[in-house]
Amino acid sequence: MGKRKVPDLYRAPFPLYSIKVDPKTGLVITAGGGGASKTGIKNAVQFLDLQLVGEHQYSASLLHSHDTDTRATMNMAIGNGVIAAGQDGTCSLMRFKQCSQKEEGKAAAAEDAENRVQQGNARRRAGKRDKGGPDEAAASGDISPMKNETAHISVTGLAEVQSDLNPVDPLQKVVRFSPDLSLLLTGGTDGHIRVWEFPSLKKRFDFKAHEGEIEDLDMSPGNKHLVTVGRDFSCSVWSGSQLAMGLKWLETMPQIAEKTYRYMACRFGKVADQKGALRLYTVQIPHKRDRKPPPCYLTKWDGKSFLPMLTAPCGTEVISSLAVSDSGTFLGLGTVTGSVAIYIAFSLQKLYYVQESHGIVVTDLAFLPDSLKGKNIKGNVETAMLSVAVDSRCQVHAVPNRRSFPIWLVLFFCGLMVVGVVLLLQSLFPGFI
C-alpha cells in the first residue's frame, strides 16, 4: 500500500463531483462540470457501462452524456430510475431509462404504425380506400432485426425544487432519498433541511438545522431518524423536524479540547451477519490546520441508541468523502490531497490505501454491489470501490481476497508441532515419556 499508480477507469472532459451506481441496472453515473463560467468546460451527467474483463480488472465505456447547460451537478442521489441532482440552489429531478437500440427501434416503429393506422382510419371514414404498397408494409410495424444491440440511455427532465435560499450564492450541498424512496431530503448553505414527499414533491418539512452550511445528512431505515452534519461543530439526530439529540464523539476522546474538531460526514450502515443491527459512522476533521497536522478520526455509533462504540484515527490527510458498502462491511474514505482508503467497519482498521491516487480532492466514492441480477460485477475481490475527483478521473479500487488456510491444515500443522516438541524433549531428557 502507499503511493502507487491506479489506472483510470474513465476520464471525463470536465471536473467530476459525484458518482453513483444504479442498483437496478448497474450503470455507473457520474456528474460534474465547469459551472456557469465561460471557460468552454461543459456541464453534464454521464452514464457509463462497467464491464468486468478479468478477475479484478474493469473497463468502462460512455453510453450517454446528458448536457446540464450552465449548471454543474455537485451532488446527486439515485432512486428507482430517477436522479436528484444538486445544481446551484436547486434540486433537478431527471428520469433515465436504459434500452437497446433494437428495442428503441421497435418502440418507434410501433408508435409510427399506430399513427399510420389512425390516419388510414380517418381516410376510410372519408370514403377513400387505401391500396397496399410499400408504405402499408411499413405501417404494419414489421421491421427487419437491427444488428446494433448497443444500450441507449434516454433522459427526461421531471421537475425542479428550490433547495437552498441563501441570498448570496445559494448552493445545495447534499441530497438523499430515504431508504424506502418515499422522501427526498436536501441540505444547503443556508443551514436548512428540506424534505419533500416523493414522487409528488409535496414539501413535508423545512427547518433550520444548523448555523451555517449543512455538510452531510443520512436517514435510517424505516425513516425513523435523520442525522445531519453542519459546519457549526454539531451532528444532530432528528425525529421528523424535532431535535432528538446531539452526538458527542469527544466522550470517547476526553483528551481532545472542544471545538478543535468538527464533523464532516455521516452514514448509516448495516452490520454483516447481524440482522436488524444498525451502525452510524461519522468523520471528524480538524477545525484548523497546524504545521504538524493532527489526525482525522472515524467514529462508530450504535445506530439505534446513538451511543459511541469506537473511535479510531484515520490519518493526517483531511477527509473529503465517506462511503459505506451495501453489506456494511467496509468504509471508504477520500481525502483533499487525492488519497483513497478502505477500512474494515467492524474494527475501523485500514485495509487499503493509495496515497494521492488522484491529483486533487476526492469528491465522491461509491462501492460496487456484490451482485446485480445474479451477475457478478464486483469480480473475484473482497470489495471494489469507485472514486472521482476534480482531476476529471474515475478510478476503481479493488481489494483482493485475503488468503486463508483451511482449518484442517492449521490443525495438522499444530499436531506436527506438538509431536516435534515431544520428540525434542525426549531427546534432551531421556526418559521424559
CB crowding 75-105: b at 16 or more within 10 Å, else e: bbbbbeebbbbbbbbbbbbbebebeeebeeb
DSSP string, 167-200: SSS--EEEEEE-TTSSEEEEEETTSEEEEEETTT
Per-residue pLDDT reduced to its tens digit, 339-377: 999 999 999 999 999 999 999 999 999 999 877 765 677
Which residue type does 303 have?
Answer: G
Residue 111 covered by a domain: no
Inside any domain, residue 213:
yes
| pLDDT score at 137 | 33
pLDDT of residue 39: 79
Q: State pLDDT tens for residues 92-146.
A: 999 999 986 655 555 444 445 444 444 444 443 344 334 444 333 333 333 333 3
Given a cut of 90, is residue 413 above it in pLDDT?
A: no
pTM of the predicted structure, to 2 decimals: 0.83
Least trusted range by pLDDT, from 195-199, 350-354, 400-404: 400-404
Query: Does residue 217 carry a pLDDT above 60?
Result: yes
What CATH number is attached to the domain comprising 328?
2.130.10.10
Is 106 a domain residue? no
What's the chain's average pLDDT? 87
Other CB atoms within 10 Å distance of the CB of residue 194: 25
Q: What is the pLDDT of residue 103?
A: 57
Task: Please say if the pLDDT value at position 147 is more than 80.
Answer: no
Contacts of 370 (CB under 8 A, 6+ apart): 326, 327, 376, 378
Rounded-to-integer distance, Cα 171 and Cα 214, Å: 10
Can you read off the three cell numbers belonging to residue 86? 444538486
Q: What is the pLDDT of residue 196?
A: 98
For residue 420, being part of any structural domain is answered with no
- What distance, in Å, lies between the first and last C-alpha atoms of the chain? 50
Residues 6+ apart with CB under 8 A from 379: 52, 54, 55, 56, 57, 58, 398
Q: Classify residue 70: in a domain, yes or no.
A: yes
* Residue whose C-alpha is closest to residue 344's, from 428, 233, 421, 269: 269
In a domain, 126, yes or no: no
326 pLDDT above the threshold of 90 = yes
Q: Does the residue 110 lie in any domain?
A: no
- Is the per-residue pLDDT at 297 higher than 70? yes
DSSP run (H or E) holding 359:
none
Structural domain range at position 187: 8-100+148-402
The enclosing H or E element of 374 equals none
Rounded CA separation 363/17 (Å): 5
Higher pLDDT, 133 or 89: 89
- The length of the chain is 433
The verdict on residue 273 lying in a domain is: yes
Amino acid letter, residue 129: R
Question: Where is average pLDDT lowest: 141-145, 261-265, 396-400?
Answer: 141-145
Provide the number of structural domains found in the chain: 1
Mean pLDDT of 49-72: 92
Q: In this predicted structure, what is the pLDDT of residue 27?
A: 95
Average pLDDT over residues 206-232: 98
Residues 138 and 117: beta-carbon distance below 8 Å: no
